[in-house]
Structure 1
């Protein structure tokens, strides 16, 4: 993208004021060609900026869609996280209930352990080495044998069932604990994963939002650049128009000179004598200026006033410095150039030209300043009698009254005399 600095340098060269020495038509044509090239360069840069803006808008739309998708994903993950936390709570309740069951089973186990301990204790008291055959063979008769055999079988069966129940209860406790713990672990892992996913999405969304802000800033810069390019193109177009006007004026002047030469040649060949008018239009303009002022013209710049009268009605053009169009400072620079005096063509530079004088001592040809959009924002040539000649943005080059109304309000007494 062409930078604003480069464009400022580019345009600055084109907007340099018209030099004091007269330019030929070829010079003007050359300037017009250069300005046309510069305008073409600006239009190319403007086209690039517009293309970049179009790409940026597409990227912004895609980014907005991405942000919306991230928002939806975050909401869904949050819902799943809420559900998982609810399941964890339910599972924890199941664990609490299971713990009650485990407590009951463990009490049964403890009871069986007590019974087994008593059995072992009784067995040890009897010597600890009585086996099944000794119990049976120690019978006194067959009836006692049957009774002892049955008793031993019952004891052995009871102990067997006791041990089996004991093992089953222990296994049941372990299975239930394992199942619930497994479910709880699974839910906890899911919770951690969901929390991590939500954090990741939040980071991605934050990055996308940050990128969106950067793109908006870039969009603002592009809009500003486009406006600047359009303004500079407009300024160049105005300058180009001024140069065309100068070329047309010089062509008219050349044609008039050619006709005058042809007429003089024709009169000479016929033996006629050419006489000169007793008073030129310039002398008339001078008499008009002096009759308005009633004062002596400052320095030798009555011809600057006379030149100004000759272009009255010229339209106001910002940056204009030729009879095709003037702004206030450009008009003064041109008028004084006609009197052979070079002065700047900007209000900022003109406010320090020459010598400052009081308004009570002002003479025709002095510079008068007005505080319009800024201090010393407008300038004109003083004519005397409270009148001044200047390029006004509403009427073009015209005479205005500075003793009442708008200009009286804007005049703060700043007057300078060109040395």
Structure 2
């Protein structure tokens, strides 16, 4: 019986030792994993800061180009107005010059005829004196010279205006060339912005995933520690019950008579009692074990799968022209690609995208997205471009009847324009 008592105490001691050791190992394992997650998260934080700084630099460059483009557009508008004014002046001067040249030529012919005819001789002979004759001849000559001077001055004025016009048109061509460069640069920077935004979003998503893994590890560690604590408490209760049983057996042996039969009977009685009591006490332990097992076998409610979004039906606005006409009045915004604000190529790209057609972002790329056609071949839905191919600076959508819809310039809105007011250079059929 003493051996049994010693065995019971040893088993209780071993239970407590075994239940404590795995807890330490398990905690270290979780701590190592959590430390690794922290390292990953810190690395991702550094990447996110770098990527965000690059995105900010790209956006700053885009803002700078927007300001430069706005200044160029404003200057181009002013020069276009100046050219129109000069053209009006030239037309008026040409009309006046034509009339005056006709009068001057008539007067010149009259003077030349008079000067070489007998009438000139008669004019001199009929003079009252030599002085009178000289005066009359000088007056006729002066009239001819005056007319010649007037004609010369008008020709000089015309040449001066023509020179101004040529200079202004050269300046407009230079500005349009710069606009093409800015348009291409805008496209490059916007592509960089989209790409860098995707990088920033990907890093943020990866960081969120790693943080979720860390949170899961922390939760698993807490749950493991809770279960280990329950096991430890259950083992302590079992050890206490075993010690109590051993004490009860010791008291029973002390109070039993020395007879062999009595000892056997007492042993039997003790055994029955021991079997019953520890069983009941063990039942407490078993309940605790069941509680632990219940924690692991109880079905965990599964989260409902997110409902898939219902796809938005394609627009039915009557094709390219119908879609484009819906956005009349939307303000011009350099670099704009949405109904909150469009630039010329952004408007075209958006309208075609609404009809399931993907186009490049900038004008100089859009002009190669289809087949080049002449203005006489235009049909509704074709694109119209302004400037030589490869260096276009503006684009619109032909709507038929000699008109097109476009996003004109800063300070203006999406509107319909007659080709007679602003003539495109060529068309493209997508």
TM-score, length of structure 2 as denominator length:
0.46
